Amino acid sequence: MSEKKRPVAVIDSGLGGISVLNHLLTQLPNEDFVYFGDTANAPYGSKNTEDVLELTVRNIRMLAEKYFAKAVVIACNTATGAAAEKCRELFTNMPIIGIEPAIKPAVTKSGKDDPKVLVMATPLTLSQEKFVHLAEKYNPNADLIPLPCPGLSQVIEEGADEKKVNALLKKLFADIDCENIDAVVLGCTHYPLVSDSISKYFAGAVIYDGGLGTAVQTKRRLSELNLLENGTEKGKLTIINSSEDKNFEILARRYIEICS
Ligand code: DGL
């Protein structure tokens, strides 16, 4: 198979990466995609760096060997933080694009010198040193409020029942001065799937996530490496997961529909 015809792999711990896949499908309509959710090992956010690194290496190797992926998009902030750098060293013949919390636009585009920025992410993402440096680098005056959201990705994996999502958000935001937040960063790819519920709490804030930026970056990398599929036919989407849960594909396709 010619290199250009090979699929782009998109990986996450579960369904969260669908929020990135949606942008990829729009940006790259002629590419074939293999979406992989590591449901047998989810959630990643409460694991340690070494475990998430090991799982991510294993998953990328499987997608390269079994599906002949020409590129991998790590559509998971937690896995990008824990594993992207190391994976780029290990898989040198394949571009690896990772998503990161959209801290830069959130701290620089609010129109304020010292914006209050709420960063919702998994415990593991927020524990990473890199995360603090990102904010310092782009706007040291920004007031960054990290909010670990344990449990939120699981509720979304189960279908995002509105009552359950709202009950959990109410608890998570109990100590947050929501009215005075200027920007909210959805630093986990699951959260954009419930952004309507989240945005209700933040009338005065702009909500950011890194999905579109990651899709644009993927297109740029494929183009630079002359790996873009140049046919005009709509690409094929394959959806798989590590626990062989049949419901996974049904839910994934539902989330694709809701978001598009
Ligand atoms: N979707 C993942 C992220 O972007 C993590 C969810 C999980 O904890 O598994 O960080």
Residue-wise pLDDT for 172-229, tens only, equals 999 999 999 999 999 999 999 999 999 999 998 999 999 999 999 999 999 999 999 9
Give tens-digit pLDDT for 142-153: 999 999 999 999
- Mutation to probe ligand 1, out of 41, 59, 130, 190 (largest number of atoms < 8 A from CB): 190
Pocket of ligand 1 (CB under 6 A): 12-13, 16, 42-45, 76-78, 122, 125, 153, 188-190
> What is the location of CATH 3.40.50.1860 in the chain?
3-98+211-259, 103-208
The residue from 87, 178, 188, 259 that is catalytic is 188
Q: What percent of the chain has pLDDT over 90?
A: 89
188 is catalytic: yes
Q: Residue 171 C-alpha to ligand 1 middle, in angstroms?
A: 19
Query: Encoding tokens for residue 167?
Result: 């009950």
Mean pLDDT across 32-41 = 98
Please, what is the average pLDDT of the chain?
95
Flag whether pLDDT at 243 surpasses 90.
yes
Q: Active-site residue 76, yes or no? A: yes
Q: Could you tell me the pLDDT band of residue 6, with boundaries at 50, 70 and 90?
A: very high
Q: Whole-model pTM above 0.95? A: yes
At residue 231, the pLDDT reads: 87
The closest of 102, 35, 38, 44 to 78, measured between CA atoms, is 44
pLDDT at res. 133: 80
Note the CATH architecture for domain 3-98+211-259.
3-Layer(aba) Sandwich (3.40)
- Give just the sign of the alpha carbon dihedral 74, 76, 77, 80: negative
pLDDT mean over 74-82 = 97
pLDDT, position 129: 76
Least confident segment among 18-22, 63-67, 214-218, 255-259: 255-259
**Is the per-residue pLDDT at 259 higher than 80?**
no
Residue of 49, 55, 189, 193 to test ligand 1 pocket, by largest number of atoms within 8 Å of CB? 189
The secondary element (H helix, E strand) that includes residue 14 is: none
Residue 54 CB-density burial (10 A; 0-12 exposed, 13-18 middle, 19+ buried)? middle
Task: Name the CATH topology of 103-208.
Answer: Rossmann fold (3.40.50)
**From the centroid of its chain, how far is CA 104?**
16
